[in-house]
């Protein structure tokens, strides 16, 4: 049986531009939220977000890489280069067709699209667009540019399943390796959605928090006073590799991917099924593929965006899949990072890997009073990180359109 392991990690997030900084700030319970600085949001319903601050792409990327790419692609390449270096893989010692890139994004080049269209509408002149307009906005461009940057000539494409996208990418990479179609992949997701149109659009859906005077406490999954999510941005990258290949070269192995699954709610464009039926089935199928029982899981990183409907629906699914095992600890780390949309699954998978490596469950911050509709038998880690043995971790990611996705990771 072909096994798939994780041998490289990379991240750029509102809590840090390296995996170590991201992990340490998450364990410390820090918030990445603040007033939006990317544009003037003073007239918007939501004026706060979790921005990536002081990003310096030139530390890892060439001038041409930056010039030709939207910010979401820069985040992707930055995290991917980190993960590739971390893995120790050397493409000159491999068949380049054995290594691919499966990279996701929910929105693509929103900033590029807004800028170019605004310039055209306000320009009052003959249409003139940047020659990189189309390449910069295309949602598949990070996978292509990562492959070009690192010389990876294997399977290369972009899945899109809204906020479930990164888990979809991880699942696809895992399956292709198990099928023998590749030795390794860089996989993950990136997003740069803190733009006027994106913030305005989600605000119009009344899905985002309006706690503008207290941004660090605005993202509050499970709290009775939660009023919506906060937009985050950044990227998470993982190198997935065939186990025997990694073992033969003496690679550092972080964890093993043992199960993945996706289901559809077939219910509503933007709302989850209130009973969590699809979410439960996704978790059950992932455990089935992993050959594990619910009692084997030590940590569950829930999707938990901090919306009234979403948090409760997911916990209904967790109850169906797990019951209330004392061993299972749950946390919602979007309370710190905000919601990175198509990149959420990737950075949360990284937190699951680090939880296994360090035997620490990162916290859910800002839970001041648990929603009365939430069963107190759930072991939700609030306030401070919880130290415990973590051998198996699970990460959920759900998306508009009814997409449910689950990844299960295990200690090696």
Instruction: Examine residue 111 and state whether it is found in any structural domain, yes or no.
Output: yes
Residue 155 in tokens = 């399977």
At residue 123, does pLDDT exceed 90? no
Tell me how far apart the alpha carbons of residues 337 and 275 are, in angstroms, rounded to a whole number: 27
- Shared domain check, 62 and 186: yes
- Shared domain check, 154 and 36: yes
Task: Identify the active-site residue in 17, 245, 273, 303.
Answer: 303
Return the pLDDT at 397. Answer: 98
Mean pLDDT for the chain overall: 97
Tell me how far apart the alpha carbons of residues 400 and 201 are, in angstroms, rounded to a whole number: 14
The rounded Cα 316 to chain-centroid distance in angstroms is 22
Q: Which of 248, 276, 292 is the last residue of a domain?
A: 248
Q: Which three-class secondary structure state does DSSP give residue 215?
A: helix
Residue 107 in tokens = 């929105």
At residue 337, does pLDDT exceed 80? yes
- Shared domain check, 162 and 60: yes
CB atoms inside a 10 Å sphere around CB 291: 11
Q: Which of 218, 248, 278 is the last residue of a domain?
A: 248
The answer, as to whether pTM is greater than 0.75, is yes
Instruction: Examine residue 327 and state whether it is found in any structural domain, yes or no.
Output: yes
Return the pLDDT at 257. Answer: 99
Contact between residue 338 and residue 219 where contact means Cβ atoms under 8 Å apart? yes
Return the pLDDT at 47. Answer: 98
What CATH number is associated with residue 347?
3.40.47.10
- Shared domain check, 341 and 229: no
Mean pLDDT within 36-61: 97
Q: With 0-12 CB in 10 A as exposed, 13-18 as middle and 19+ as buried, what is 22?
A: buried
For the chain, the C-alpha Rg in angstroms (whole number) is: 20
Select from 362, 377, 232, 378 the least CA-distant residue to 306: 232
- Shared domain check, 175 and 53: yes
Q: What is the dihedral of CA 337, 340, 343, 349, to 10 degrees?
A: 30
Please report how many Cα atoms fall inside a 13 Å half-sphere around the Cα of residue 201, on the Cβ side. 11
Q: Which of 248, 280, 311 is the last residue of a domain?
A: 248
Return the pLDDT at 124. Answer: 66
Instruction: Examine residue 267 and state whether it is found in any structural domain, yes or no.
Output: yes
Contact between residue 58 and residue 208 where contact means Cβ atoms under 8 Å apart? no
For residue 305, what pLDDT band results from cuts at 50, 70 and 90?
A: very high
Residue 339 among the catalytic residues = yes
Domain range for residue 387? 261-410
For residue 125, what pLDDT band results from cuts at 50, 70 and 90?
A: low
Mean pLDDT within 24-34: 98
Contact between residue 162 and residue 189 where contact means Cβ atoms under 8 Å apart? no
Instruction: Examine residue 254 and state whether it is found in any structural domain, yes or no.
Output: no
Instruction: Examine residue 307 and state whether it is found in any structural domain, yes or no.
Output: yes
- Shared domain check, 375 and 244: no
Residue 57 in tokens = 């792409």
For residue 127, what pLDDT band results from cuts at 50, 70 and 90?
A: confident
347-359 pLDDT, tens digit per residue, is 999 999 999 999 9
For residue 128, what pLDDT band results from cuts at 50, 70 and 90?
A: confident
- Shared domain check, 151 and 102: yes
Task: Identify the active-site residue in 163, 245, 273, 403.
Answer: 163
Contact between residue 336 and residue 234 where contact means Cβ atoms under 8 Å apart? no
249-303 pLDDT, tens digit per residue, is 999 999 999 999 999 999 999 999 999 999 999 999 999 999 999 999 999 999 9
Per-residue CA distances from 116 to 108, 123, 129, 270, 292 (Å):
14, 10, 7, 28, 50
- Shared domain check, 285 and 208: no
For residue 122, what pLDDT band results from cuts at 50, 70 and 90?
A: confident
Mean pLDDT within 126-149: 94
- Shared domain check, 224 and 132: yes
At residue 126, does pLDDT exceed 80? no
Instruction: Examine residue 256 and state whether it is found in any structural domain, yes or no.
Output: no
| Percentage with pLDDT > 90 across the chain | 97
Instruction: Examine residue 253 and state whether it is found in any structural domain, yes or no.
Output: no
Domains contained in the chain, number: 2
Residue 303 among the catalytic residues = yes
Task: Identify the active-site residue in 156, 339, 352, 403.
Answer: 339
- Shared domain check, 224 and 331: no
Return the pLDDT at 26. Answer: 98
For residue 161, what pLDDT band results from cuts at 50, 70 and 90?
A: very high
The bridge status of strand 386-387 relative to strand 360-361 is: antiparallel
Return the pLDDT at 349. Answer: 98
- Shared domain check, 300 and 210: no
Instruction: Examine residue 374 and state whether it is found in any structural domain, yes or no.
Output: yes
Mean pLDDT within 201-218: 96
- Shared domain check, 282 and 226: no
């Amino acid at each position: 049986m072909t096994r798939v392991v994780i041998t490289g990690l990379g991240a750029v997030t509102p809590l840090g531009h390296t995996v170590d900084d991201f992990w340490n700030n998450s364990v410390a319970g820090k918030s990445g939220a603040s007033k939006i600085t990317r544009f003037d949001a003073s007239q918007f319903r939501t004026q706060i977000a979790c921005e990536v601050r002081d990003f310096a792409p030139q530390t890892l990327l060439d001038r041409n890489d930056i010039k030709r790419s939207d910010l979401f692609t820069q985040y992707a390449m930055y995290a991917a280069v980190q993960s590739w270096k971390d893995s120790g893989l050397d493409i000159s010692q491999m068949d380049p067709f054995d290594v691919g890139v499966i990279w996701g994004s929910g929105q693509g080049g929103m900033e590029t699209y807004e800028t170019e269209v605004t310039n055209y509408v306000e320009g009052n002149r003959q249409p003139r667009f940047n020659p990189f307009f189309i390449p910069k906005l295309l949602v598949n461009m990070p996978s292509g540019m990562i492959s070009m940057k690192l010389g990876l000539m294997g399977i290369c494409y972009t899945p899109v399943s809204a906020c479930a996208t990164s888990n979809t990418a991880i699942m696809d990479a895992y399956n292709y390796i198990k099928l023998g179609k590749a030795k390794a992949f860089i996989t993950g997701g990136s997003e740069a959605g803190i733009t006027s149109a994106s913030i305005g659009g989600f605000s119009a859906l009344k899905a985002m928090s309006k706690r503008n005077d207290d941004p660090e406490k605005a993202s509050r999954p499970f709290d009775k006073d939660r009023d919506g999510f906060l937009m985050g941005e950044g990227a998470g990258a993982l190198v997935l590799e065939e186990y025997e290949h990694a073992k033969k070269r003496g690679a550092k192995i972080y964890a093993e991917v043992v199960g993945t699954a996706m289901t559809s709610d077939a219910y509503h464009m933007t709302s989850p099924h209130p009973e969590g039926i699809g979410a439960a089935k996704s978790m059950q199928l992932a455990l089935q593929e992993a050959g594990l029982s619910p009692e084997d899981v030590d940590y569950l990183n829930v999707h938990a965006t901090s919306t009234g409907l979403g948090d409760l629906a997911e916990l209904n699914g967790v109850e169906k899949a797990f019951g209330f095992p004392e061993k299972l600890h749950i946390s919602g780390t979007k309370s710190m990072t905000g919601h990175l949309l198509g990149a959420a699954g990737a950075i949360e998978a990284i937190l699951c890997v680090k939880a296994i490596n360090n035997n620490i469950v990162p916290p859910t911050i800002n839970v001041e009073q648990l929603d009365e509709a939430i069963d107190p038998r759930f072991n939700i880690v609030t306030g401070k990180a919880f130290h415990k043995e973590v051998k198996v971790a699970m990460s959920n990611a759900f998306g508009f359109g009814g997409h449910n996705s689950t990844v299960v990771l295990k200690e090696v």
